[in-house]
Amino acid sequence: MRMEAGLARGHNLHVTWKGDVIRISRDVSDEEKTAVGRRKIKVHNSFLKLGVNTAMSSVPNVALLGSGGGLRAMIALQGVLGELQKEDLLGAVMYLCGVSGSTWCMSFIYEHEEWLGKLPILEAKMCDNLVNQSWDPSKSLDALVEPSKEKTYSLTDFWGSVVLYAMLHEANYGHLSKERMVSFNGEVPYPIYAAVDSNKLDDTSKTHPGIWFEFTPHDAGFFHPGAFVDMRLLGSSFENGVLRILKNEKSISYLRGLWGSSFADRKEDVKEIEDYIKHLGEQASASSCHCIYCQAASHAIKLLIHAMEGTTHEHQDENITNIMELLKDQVGSNTYNFLSLLKDKHNTLDKPGRVAQFLTLADMFTQEFAARTSPFTHHEETKRSIWDTLRILSKTVYCLFKWKWGTISNYIYKYPSLNDKNLTGKEELRLADAGIAMNSAYPLVLRPEREVKLILSFDFSSGNPFETVKEAVLYCKENHLPFPDIDVSELDKSKDSPYDCYVFQGHDSPTVMHFPLFNTVNCKDKVAEWREQYSTLKVSYKEQEVKNLLEAAKANVRNNRGRILQAMKSMQAP
């Protein structure tokens, strides 16, 4: 679809779009081909320096996979990349592809042009962020002011701007499209970020290629059936292939929340999200405006927070009374009448019922009285009003109890030339962490169009370190893709005490080198202890823990340099 339109509906964006913004094709984009072509020159030079004598026309594509694994994966991938560069191997990598925690590392380093030469500095900065820095709740709320106005607002927005900011101690409001400049000249591997379509996961097998959704600096979309949108327009509203409402490009913080929400997929983590909501409410319930409506809104926030507690809170009666006193001149209003009823029955309600009642109150109260306040009632520093805070918290609580994640406008809604009604029939997509399907993004680098010949799979997963390999075997079998013939039952025998490197080769298939993070080489006989200490749910690290994890990851590269080099040499054209 070609477009020449200066659209500014929804947001005041004075941009004229020219060219293809929706691409219906199974091929990779022309921009990726150009970037990869430039990268091939650098890869060829790296191969020659390593003694791999191959013609420019037959340079094999090497893909590096970073699996999911929370902060453990983020830190470990940083160590892997640093050591690969130190060993002169990273220059030979064409693609860098991540899932979940690995995408946090990727989006961190790709902020910097020519980052290959800056990895020691970036490693030190990551360590400092994780150990010495903190998060600012006010900054989190500010970031959610505009997203919370959208009907697509979900827990993904909250997860990225609040929970991950609190974990990573870094808020990144840049954009993935900016990585075009970083990858333009071929100095670094071309980045690919993975997600899956939760709607399709509900209806089909985890091995179906149609569940996979990829992000590159140039576009985002489904490689099966082959439908992509310009990365800058993901989240804008389309219908019948026509751009209806232009929206701001999604921030890296939002995308991190989308890419890395696998442990948000577990409903037992509801309490953690509730605790963040309460913390924000307690921090931001005061209003700088002293008008009766803003003061009442402040009490409404306190009511909402108290409603989320498992038992009746003694301050609820007090806050209801305070709001009614402030609104005593509005006795006939819907809000006042609702409060009168609520005061008599809220103690008899269970938690879901109480929350539902207070969400109704917040919505009713906002509709009746927000417009009566002065337009100059925003926080002096942030320009965020008490009404913004009330909206953010109430919509987040609503999403929590509806368990709403990953909703984003569907760019191929009612697209005329696509026959997949399950995809084109929905106004919204529901995207999620790819780790809930497969914790390494094999499907994205196994696309025939990318012509990958060697896969370096660095596995930072919890549990069985061969699970991603087993899932890749099944995926390729069911989708008739070439992959090494692997006896997975043999692998399971060493799942509790794996080696540091496994090489899988096959006829007319890519070679796969698999590196379990914790193994009997770098952890000796303490693999179980390392796994327990660095669990996926570990959300804070001491400095020495970061250094130990970095060293474990680096050792897997350093100890296997010869094997990696041998695999590269074995790909030389005869």
SS3 174: coil
CA–CA separation, 340 and 409 (whole Å): 39
Selected catalytic residue, list 100, 107, 177, 461:
100
Strands (E), 386-522: 407-409, 428-433, 452-459, 502-504, 511-516
Under DSSP, the state recorded for 29 is P
User: Which whole-number Å values give the CA distances from 12 to 145, 252, 253, 288, 393, in the listed order?
Assistant: 16, 21, 21, 28, 25
- Compute the chain's Rg from CA coordinates: 26
511 and 567 Cβ atoms separated by less than 8 Å: yes
> Could you confirm whether 100 is annotated as catalytic?
yes
Three-class secondary structure of residue 244 per DSSP: strand
Q: Please state the φ and ψ torsions of residue 213, each to the nearest 5 degrees.
A: -130, 125
Annotation says 540 is catalytic: no
Count other Cβ atoms within 10 Å, centred on residue 99.
33
Task: From the candidates 219, 433, 459, 500, give the one annotated as an active-site residue.
Answer: 433
- Round to whole Å and give the CA distance between 287 and 72: 39
Backbone phi, psi, residue 273, to 5° = -65, -40
Which secondary-structure segment (H or E) carries 309?
A: none
Q: How far apart are CA 102 and CA 557, in angstroms?
A: 17
Per the rule left: phi > 0, alpha: psi between -120 and 50, beta: everything else, 240 is left
- Cβ within 8 Å of residue 81, ≥6 positions away: 90, 105, 109, 119
Cβ atoms < 10 Å from Cβ of 443: 27
Q: Could you report how far apart the first and last alpha carbons of the chain are, in Å? A: 43
The set of catalytic residues is 100, 433
